[in-house]
Amino acid sequence: MDVLKRLGEIGLVPVIKIDDVEKAVPLAKALSDGGLPVAEVTFRTAEAEEAIRRISTAMPDMLVGAGTVLTIEQVKTAVGAGAKFIVSPGFNPKVVGYCIENNIPITPGCSNASDIEMAIEMGLGVVKFFPAEQAGGLPMLKALAAPYNKMKFIPTGGIDEKNLTTYLAFDKVVCCGGSFMVKEDLIKAGEWAKITELTQNAVSLMLGFEIAHIGINCNNEEEANGLTFALANIFGMPVKEGKGGNFTGSVFELLKAPYLGAKGHIAIKTNSIARGMAHLEAKGVKFNPDGIKSDEKGNLVAAYLAEEFGGFAIHLLQKK
């Protein structure tokens, strides 16, 4: 498994502190049920090793990592317990070097240009931007990232519902780390349903699914033009004519020839098609290979689900 690629697909890594190992598996299940099958278990408590071991054993599909790792011994302990990746708050060359030598994915904390250049020197392509908000937030990250066009970042520290999507919209951000869906009081109280609810809300916010338009299949250009202006007249919407179809406002697309979907299609906007596809595929949703479209730069712009719903195809559409 390409761990960093998978983290990018998931998009949000819950950072959790376990004081009671009996809560480790129920917490991991609550996160997974909410749509985040990943956790960074911090080594800030003595229970971290056993928590990682229990989660890895009970939930082998859960991507479990170790955070706040400060020494090589902690790396060995974490990996021995089942950790699939290592996260450190700062850049320790000995820890980073050990992980690289042993093919252990690591994202060390970096908050300045010197840290980033050491990471590049050691061959890393992804680092943790920490503490993100306290270090200057997204403006600081963009300023730091500018000279290093191949480096990617995982902002962590102060990430919450208010700034999550803003960070993820930056093309040099792989994913974000946060604990706003796993608050300490909820863990202590064992409120797993509430954690699942908060996690679902976070995933929904991150993906940003919302209806973009309804496409209607027409038999020919004449029929499409007639329906276009009829709908425009009814709803007082502007018309934009195109080669393959016309738009009435941003609500209706009248296709000049039938395309995917017996009756037409429903376009669902998302903050990230790639991430949206990954989350839907995790639920068993399949995509139509012929309906996956990219622009000239290779960026995804549309992806059709394989299944039709009530005669309508559904496709994801990248938000601008």
β-pair partners for 244: none
- Grouping H, G, I as helix, E, B as strand and the rest as coil, residue 213 is strand
More confident: 263 or 297? 263
210-318 has the same fold as 3-206: no
In the predicted model, what is the mean pLDDT of residues 173-190?
A: 96
Q: Which of 23, 128, 152, 172 is catalytic?
A: 128
At 320 the pLDDT is 84
Taking all residues of the chain, what is their mean pLDDT, rounded to a whole number?
97
Class of domain 3-206: alpha beta
Q: Is 210 noted as a catalytic residue in this protein?
A: no
Cα distance between residue 258 and residue 184, in whole Å: 53
CB atoms within 10 A of CB 29: 18
Taking alpha carbons only, the member of 198, 164, 194 closest to residue 181 is: 198
Give the domain ranges of the chain. 3-206, 210-318
Amino acid at 171: D
CATH of range 210-318; options 3.10.690.10, 3.30.420.40, 3.90.25.10, 3.10.180.10: 3.10.180.10
Q: What are the C-alpha distances in Å from 20 to residues 83, 184, 187?
A: 18, 12, 9
How is residue 260 written in tokens? 């995917």
Q: What is the pLDDT of residue 1?
A: 79
Model pLDDT for residues 26-55, shown as the tens digit of each residue? 999 999 999 999 999 999 999 999 999 999
Question: Whole-prediction pTM value?
Answer: 0.94
Taking Cα atoms as reference points, which of 141, 126, 136 lies closest to residue 174? 126
Mean of pLDDT values over 200-216 = 98
β-pair type (106-110, 126-129): parallel
Q: What are phi and psi of 69, to 5 degrees?
A: -90, 125
pLDDT at 90 over 90: yes
Instruction: Find the catalytic residue in 9, 40, 47, 49.
Output: 40
Query: What is residue 55's predicted lDDT score, i.e. its pLDDT?
Result: 98
What is the mean predicted confidence (pLDDT) over 203-207?
A: 98
Q: 76 pLDDT band (50/70/90 cuts)?
A: very high
The pLDDT of 199-217, averaged and rounded, is 98
| Confidence band of 72 (pLDDT split at 50, 70, 90) | very high
Does 241 participate in catalysis according to the annotation?
Answer: no
**What's the whole-number mean pLDDT along residues 108-130?**
97
Question: Is residue 195 within 8 Å of 182, Cβ to Cβ?
Answer: yes
User: Which residues touch 101 (CB under 8 Å, ≥6 apart)?
Assistant: none
pLDDT at site 98: 98
Closest CA to 36 of 141, 175, 186, 232: 175
Residue 94 has pLDDT above 90, yes or no: yes
CA 306 – CA 294 distance, rounded (Å): 17
Residue 48 contacts by C-beta under 8 Å, 6 or more apart in sequence?
18, 41, 42, 66, 78
